[in-house]
Each structure stands twice: as C-alpha cells, then as structure tokens.
Structure 1
C-alpha cells in the first residue's frame, strides 16, 4: 500500500507547550509564504488558543490532534508531514513513539532533548529504520547542543583547510544569561529518577562515549570530567561545572565518530561555565559548583525533591517575555591541533539561551530540513546538528542574527 500524500511540509508537535509556542511564533514570522505548517498536540482546544496568540500568518495553519500514547495518531501524523519537530518531553517518557513513527515513515525529525539515555535508546531502536527510509533524525537542536556541535565543526573545518592537523585539546567556555522552565526541570527529574533506579543507566550516563555509533572502535583517549573542578582559564576567567556538558559533549563526540573520527581520534573535548575574573570570580565559581552539587543532591532524595517542587517552575511555565528578551549566550571554544596550532570559535546570540535563542535554533533547523534538502549532507539515520545540517544551519543562524565565527590564533 502506498503512503498517503504529505499534507504538511512541517508540523510542530507540542505546540501548546511553553517552548513549542515560542517556536511556532518564530516560524509564523520567518517561514516563507506557501510553506505548509501545522500545529499538533493532544488538545484541539488548546491548539486553537495557541494559534490565536500567534502572528496573523499562522491563523490559517491546520491543527492536528495527536498523542504519543496513541500509536495510530502519531503514525498518521508522521505519514502526513515531511518534517516533524517535537518539543514534547520528558522525551524518555513521550519521545520514542514519535521517533519511531518518523523513522518508519521517512519523515525528517528534530527535537530539543538533552536526555542522553533517550538519545541512546532512540539510536538503538530507530537508526537502521531511518537509514532505510531516508529520514534524518536530528536530536538536540536547541541550546542543547547546537552551539557546541557547530562550533567544533567550524574548528575542524578551519584546521583541515590550513593543514594544521586533527583537533586534540578542545574546551568550550559557556557564558549566558537566562531562566529555566518547568519542562526542563521535568526532564531533569526523569533522568535523576532513572539513574537512581538503574545501575545500567548510571553506567551509560557516566560513559563519555555513550552516544557513539560504534563503541568498540572509540579511542582510549581519556575525556575531561563533566563536573570538573573550579579552575581559571588562561585569560583569568574563573570557571565552574557546566550543567549541560554531560549532554553536549556526547553529541559532539557522536558527530566526530559519525564522520569516521574526522575531528581526530585523539580529541579531548570538555565544557565549563565561565563565571567572573579576579578574586570575586574564584568565590563565585566555588559557590556555583557547590550550589550545583547541592541542587543535584536535593533532586535525588524524595524529601528534598518535594520541597524543591514547591518553589520551582511547574511544567508548562517558563521565563517571562522580559527575561527572554534580556537574555543572551556566548560559547567560546578553543582548540589545539596535532600540528601545534591554536584556533578559537565563538557561537553567540541574543535572547534567553534555552527559550528565545533556542526558538531560533529549532525554527531554523526545522526550516533547513523542510527547505534545504538538496544542500544538506547526503545522510540519513540518527544524526546530530553538525552531521545532518552542518554549514547550512550555520548560514541560517548567521542570517537570523546569531554569531558563528572561527579564527586561527597561532
């Protein structure tokens, strides 16, 4: 039996969620006329409410009722769109049926996950399906992990063009201003609960090559700890552990392996959070590291978890419009090559990184999948932003006002 016709070019699944509505609003402003965009979620009434708040260009967009718990509705949704971008999390609870439906239907897929265990399971269950159907399954298309993944790709390209040798020591220093949403916290809860109950999951999360396409072939190169000690960089900036490092570093290492370790088999890649300079910076970095440790511990134990749940944002809520507007991010990545040369890449942009800036990253990812197929790398299967979209996404994000630049230092 032939597949039904594709009624939509692009569907945002989870459009009634906090980030889903932000992405829909971005597309309503930036998608070209004629692109057939739909909004999907569990409730038509809630979808109608969201659509009414969007710019006028979205007011005729069709609404699709679908639930990841209903295999038939998700299958029908995947079969009738060319690209599906989902914000429905926690992905470990709701995401796998969506990935599988897209992989079977040959539908390109994007998400915002930072859940390593979910990505691993999606790879194991759906990579072969997607490669056979031609679907591009692209995980982590927001602040997790677009700036990290594209910045390292640019470093590799610059070093390769100069004949400077493979990358060896690479470190990202993240600085940002923004807030946090209830949905992000809900994903964190699911991951913490899974690790608490499963030794196998704890082992997976601890593996720096957890997302490798071929774990046996990975080099024995030791990787920096995700929660390394407080330290001071060469320019005097004090750094602390970066909460997103555990996800981002594994995406970057998967990108390397998917390209036959083109970045270098001796690549050591780590991420930290930049805090401040001078004596005050040391104090703030220490306090930040301590606070992250206390928060992680509090999320682990039921009694303290219940106390946190009373004060933290609930699912479906997030930073105010003012907070999102005033936010920003800057990821500076320095690299040393086998030839002894040094490079620096910068990925930066305006807006709260997890929300306003992520809406740009996700929106441009979705548009690239929908419109730029002839310019994208000729690959399918379970991919990363760098391997699925590469320079096309870099160009789109630059045009959208984000910075992606690389320079040789020595």
Structure 2
C-alpha cells in the first residue's frame, strides 16, 4: 500500500458521528498524515472541512456514494484505510466492504448489527483474506470495551499462568444519549428479520458470528437476558443488574475474537454482559423494568416493522438520522465497564475499561479514530479477513487507547 494516495479516508464525514471523528483526527493523527474526507455531496464536505478549521484546510475531498459501486472501488484503491460511519450498515455498508475486500484496503466501522457482520463474513471473508484486507467491524463503544477487556484478561491469565478463562461477566455503568443513526440501525435489522424470519437465528444464537461453530466450547445455554443481584457476579458489587441492550451484539463479537485467535480463552469460556440498575431501594424494580423493557421494545419494533403503517409509527417516535446528543451532553457523559473473570486455577481478575464523554459518540470517535490510525500506521498481526478489534489490533489498540486517556487496567479480584 506504500504508493497509495491517502493513509486514511473518513467516509461519512458529514454525518453526526463522522464529524466528531473528523474533529478527533485533527489532533490525534501524526504529523504528515494524508487524510481525506469522503461522502456523497462535495458541497457538504466543503462545509464540514471549513468547520474543522485551518489544520484540516488541506484535507482532500472525495465524492463517493454507497449506491455507486464504481465510486467506492475508486475510493478504496486510493487509500490504505477507510473508516466509515455510514449506516445503517445493513442498508448501506456492503458495497464499501466489497470495494475494500477487492482492493486489499483496510477498513473500520461502528456497526452494532450482527446481521451485517454475518453477511460480510459469508460474502467477502475469503476475498478479504486473499487480498490482505483487514475488515474490522464494531470499532466504537460497540464493541471495543468488551472485546479488548476480555482479550487483556486472557493475556493476564497467560502471563500469570493461572489457567484458562471460565465464567466472565461484564458489568456496565454509563451516562450517554442516543442518536437517530443508532435507532435506525435497530430498525434496519428488524426490517431484515421481518422480510426473512430465518435471520432471527443470527440475532439469538451466541455463536452466530463464529468462524467455526463446531469448535466452540459446549458450555450449555448462554442468554443475554439478565435480572439478578450484582453480588452474584462478584461480592464487591451491590445492587442489581439487568439486561444490557448491546450485550447481544458485543458477546458475539467477543466469541468471534476467541475463534479468530484459535480459541485460546478456554474450552469452558462463558461470557455475558449486564448493566447496573443501581443499589437504591427501587433498584429491583428498575432492573426488572430495564430487562422487560428491552424485550418489549424489540418485540414491538419487530411487529411494527412488518407493515408500512407500523414503519410510519416508528418514524414519528424515534430520533431522526443525523441527530444526536448536544455538545454539553456529550461532554457530561461517561462510562465504566468492569469485567469479572474466573480461571481454571481459581484465580480471579477484573478489567476496568473506563473513559469520559458520551460513550456512543464522544468516546466512540476516539475509539474509531484510533482504530483507523492503528490500521494505517502500526505494525499489526498478519491476520486478514473479516475481523474484530481484538483479533486485528489487540495490544496495539490497547496501548493507543491508554495514551488517549482511556483506562484499561487488569487487576486480581
């Protein structure tokens, strides 16, 4: 890739998360980095570049459209890495994956859509491996904290010779908002399942993104639904925990990493994610409401997505694409993920992954930006194909995020 015109192209720079990522890259990219902004409208790209200030004044602009395969092929051929925020990926993302797989171009996205990743694997996994393209999905709050936390727990257990991982649980605490793009991604998956109910199995099966289901550990049923006392996870915790809305996606990514790395986490590796509901007197009711509310919302969305009038109802209720939390709300956000791990020797560890800023937007821009920079400038494992953050960038990305003021710390529990 040494003779390519750009080091990194940000596709979708005019969108909500795209602008945040562009702003982050201004300060995070090394001197001399060849960065370009890409999107459908050159006029809108010019406006975004002007807003970014003098440091981005010379960034080239590239016109490309997710509905125009030729424009995406040309884009991928010009750069080492494409970072894309154009979603829902299930609707708009596949042509860019194809372009990167064919051109041996590295790629990072923000998808929280298992259906999209499964299709990427099935359609372009072999081709990407042949051309050397690292197609790395879920490089934001979904699913970097989950993926790197378990990866670092595994590395610590190896360093301490304390055996394989067994039961591992991530507990999430966070303050953040939701954008129209996030909601639209959920809608895209509901509509896809409504059109083809067989795809529902991809959403529900814990190993649906596995590189080889036959190699996965046989540890019985693993459910992403939760409602229990936090002390059941670790005695240091109080209050209650409930279903974490992104757990169903993140857990699949973590299990895929285990497979891509050769299943080193352990033959009895079990993984789940939950969200804290607090420790007040009403915490059990809050937890029950969170758990039941997620199930009810998904069920209602799936039913409404089946008919045109239902889709119109959803349009009126949810945030519009391109919208998101205010700047003040993004600054006031935060997240702490603590992952508790047991090992076959009886040793226990906890990995803390924490940062400031709205997790889904401000912190995600950091994670996505650093993922793109790692793919463009760092020496990474030789593995190629449809990858995960841990399998593609493991220790390198961990180091980058630590330097970007994100806490990633493993300690005995």
Normalised-by-shorter TM-score class: over 0.9
Q: CA deviation at 1:305?
A: 5.2
| Stretch deviating more after TM superposition (288-297 or 337-346) | 288-297
Partner of 1:145: 143
Q: Does the 8 Å CA contact 1:90/1:190 hold for their aligned counterparts?
A: yes
Partner of 1:29: 27
Q: CA deviation at 1:382?
A: 1.2
Q: CA deviation at 1:89?
A: 0.6
Partner of 2:326: 320
CA distance in 2 between counterparts of 1:229 and 1:278 reads 15
Q: CA deviation at 1:345?
A: 0.3
Q: Superposition RMSD on alpha carbons, in Å?
A: 1.5
- Superposed, 1:87-126 pairs within 5 Å as 87-126=85-124
CA distance in 2 between counterparts of 1:194 and 1:73 reads 26
Q: CA deviation at 1:217?
A: 2.1
CA distance in 2 between counterparts of 1:81 and 1:377 reads 20
Q: CA deviation at 1:283?
A: 2.1
Total equivalences in the alignment: 405
Q: Does the 8 Å CA contact 1:180/1:319 hold for their aligned counterparts?
A: yes
Pick from 396, 399, 404 the counterpart of residue 400 of structure 1. 404
Pick from 211, 214, 223 the counterpart of residue 213 of structure 1. 211
Aligned CA distance change for structure 1 residues 231 and 199 (closer, same or farther; 3 Å)? farther
Q: CA deviation at 1:188?
A: 0.3
Give the TM-score taking structure 1 as reference length.
0.96
Moved over 4 A (4+): none
Partner of 1:337: 343
CA distance in 1 between counterparts of 2:88 and 2:280 reads 39
Aligned CA distance change for structure 1 residues 56 and 343 (closer, same or farther; 3 Å)? same
CA distance in 1 between counterparts of 2:76 and 2:248 reads 30
Partner of 1:385: 389
Mark the runs of 5 or more structure 2 residues left unpaired by the alignment. none
Give the TM-score taking structure 2 as reference length.
0.95
Offset from partner CA, 1:15-74 (integer Å, 9 cap, x none):
111001100110012211210000000110111111111132111111101012111100
Offset from partner CA, 1:63-102 (integer Å, 9 cap, x none):
1010121111000000000000111111111111111110
Mark the runs of 5 or more structure 1 residues left unpaired by the alignment. none
Pick from 244, 249, 264 the counterpart of residue 266 of structure 2. 264
Helix, strand or coil for the counterpart of 2:80? Answer: strand
Q: Does the 8 Å CA contact 1:4/1:79 hold for their aligned counterparts?
A: no
Q: Does the 8 Å CA contact 2:227/2:287 hold for their aligned counterparts?
A: no
Partner of 1:75: 73
Q: Does the 8 Å CA contact 2:226/2:291 hold for their aligned counterparts?
A: no
Q: Does the 8 Å CA contact 2:6/2:78 hold for their aligned counterparts?
A: yes
Q: Does the 8 Å CA contact 1:28/1:55 hold for their aligned counterparts?
A: no
Q: Does the 8 Å CA contact 2:336/2:352 hold for their aligned counterparts?
A: yes
Offset from partner CA, 1:159-204 (integer Å, 9 cap, x none):
1111111000000001100000000110000111122232320112
Q: Does the 8 Å CA contact 2:168/2:270 hold for their aligned counterparts?
A: yes
Partner of 2:168: 170
Q: CA deviation at 1:230?
A: 4.2
- Superposed, 1:168-247 pairs within 5 Å as 168-233=166-231, 234=235, 235-247=237-249
Offset from partner CA, 1:240-284 (integer Å, 9 cap, x none):
100101110000000111111101121000000112014222122
- Superposed, 1:5-24 pairs within 5 Å as 5-24=3-22
Pick from 349, 356, 362 the counterpart of residue 356 of structure 1. 362
Partner of 1:130: 128
Offset from partner CA, 1:139-167 (integer Å, 9 cap, x none):
00000000000000110011111111100
Partner of 2:289: 287
Q: Does the 8 Å CA contact 1:183/1:315 hold for their aligned counterparts?
A: yes
CA distance in 2 between counterparts of 1:232 and 1:82 reads 45
Q: CA deviation at 1:126?
A: 1.3
Q: Does the 8 Å CA contact 2:23/2:52 hold for their aligned counterparts?
A: yes
CA distance in 1 between counterparts of 2:51 and 2:104 reads 32
CA distance in 2 between counterparts of 1:197 and 1:239 reads 34
